[in-house]
């Protein structure tokens, strides 16, 4: 087939792909309506889809970090720590625990939709502190506004589970919980654009 014919055939395919990709955070996208925001039930469903796709439960549900199936309630936090410092003979690394994300007082109960969006897009929690990038928020910054909102809507729709999660263990403190290592996390906080949220 001549080259010209082939590229003509490809054109509709490319257009389709471009439409499906949508405009992150943009307006007028057919899938998200004029303001770019999804309606309640659609937003919760989209959030469930994204949370599954982005693997939030891999850290935020008990069991997965130890290579097991879930042994605790969905997204209600993990008491298995993740080492955030490293070293060849470091037997007392700092440990961080993936918090309870359900709308209970031991989880995100006091957090507004905007608080959750802010944490995902900037790493900054309601206490004003930026979370360690063990929580992959530097990647989640790239999510569109409707998708960030959808994740927040889904988390806020979960059944509240009362389940306290351990606080951070500082390096060289006594370790009281099992933990995993999956990398060295050196982190320098950086400026993020909170105005646009
Ligand atoms: C690789 C493990 C990992 C994955 C995957 C992960 N998180 Fe986290 N998340 C953490 C850890 C660990 C913290 C606590 C970090 C800290 O205290 O500095 C955290 C903190 C948070 C916080 C702040 C809560 C609080 O009480 O401070 C929110 C909200 C959150 N994660 C939501 C999510 C969502 C939503 C996803 C999926 C889109 C996700 N996380 C994926 C490990 C993870």
* CA-82 nearest atom, ligand 1: 12
Q: How confident is the model at residue 29 (pLDDT cuts 50, 70, 90)?
A: very low
Per-residue pLDDT tens over the stretch 185-197? 555 666 777 776 6
* Size of the chain, expressed as the number of residues it contains: 197
Burial class (CB in 10 A: 0-12, 13-18, 19+), 85: middle
Mutation choice for ligand 1 from 60, 77, 95, 115, CB with most ligand atoms inside 8 A: 60
* CA-168 nearest atom, ligand 1: 17
Q: Residue 4 C-alpha to ligand 1 middle, in angstroms?
A: 50
Per-residue pLDDT tens over the stretch 122-147? 999 999 999 999 999 999 999 999 99
Work out the angle at residue 77's Cα, subtended by the Cα atoms of residues 72 and 83, and round it to the nearest 5 degrees.
Answer: 115
Per-residue pLDDT tens over the stretch 53-76? 999 999 999 999 998 999 999 999
Q: Residue 87 C-alpha to ligand 1 middle, in angstroms?
A: 24
Please name the residue that has the structure tokens 């989880």.
107
Q: How confident is the model at residue 79 (pLDDT cuts 50, 70, 90)?
A: very high
The C-alpha atoms of residue 129 and residue 106 are separated, in whole angstroms, by 18
- Say which residues have a Cβ less than 8 Å from residue 77's Cβ, sequence separation at least 6: 60, 61, 62, 97, 98, 99, 100, 101, 106, 107, 163, 165
Please name the residue that has the structure tokens 């490293």.
86
Q: What is the mean pLDDT of residues 3-29?
A: 37
Nearest partner of 120 among 108, 109, 104, judged by Cα: 108
* CA-132 nearest atom, ligand 1: 18
Mutation choice for ligand 1 from 59, 107, 135, CB with most ligand atoms inside 8 A: 135
The C-alpha atoms of residue 174 and residue 49 are separated, in whole angstroms, by 39
């Amino acid at each position: 087939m001549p080259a010209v014919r082939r590229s003509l055939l490809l054109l509709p395919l490319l257009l389709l792909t471009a439409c499906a990709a949508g405009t992150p955070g943009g307006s007028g996208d057919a899938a998200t309506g004029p303001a770019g925001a999804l309606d309640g039930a659609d937003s919760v469903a989209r959030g469930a889809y994204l949370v599954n796709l982005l693997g939030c439960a891999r850290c935020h549900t008990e069991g997965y970090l130890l290579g097991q199936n879930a042994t605790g309630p969905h997204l209600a936090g993990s008491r298995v720590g993740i080492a955030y410092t490293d070293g060849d003979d470091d037997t007392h690394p700092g440990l961080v625990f993936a918090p309870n994300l359900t709308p209970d007082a031991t989880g995100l109960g006091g957090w507004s939709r905007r608080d959750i969006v802010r944490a995902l897009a900037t790493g900054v929690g309601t206490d004003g502190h930026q979370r360690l990038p063990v929580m992959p928020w530097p990647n989640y910054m790239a999510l569109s506004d409707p998708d960030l909102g959808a994740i927040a809507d889904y988390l806020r729709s979960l059944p509240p589970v009362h389940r306290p999660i351990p606080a951070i263990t500082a390096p060289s403190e006594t370790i009281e919980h099992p933990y995993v290592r999956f990398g060295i996390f050196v982190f320098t906080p950086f400026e993020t654009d909170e105005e646009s949220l």
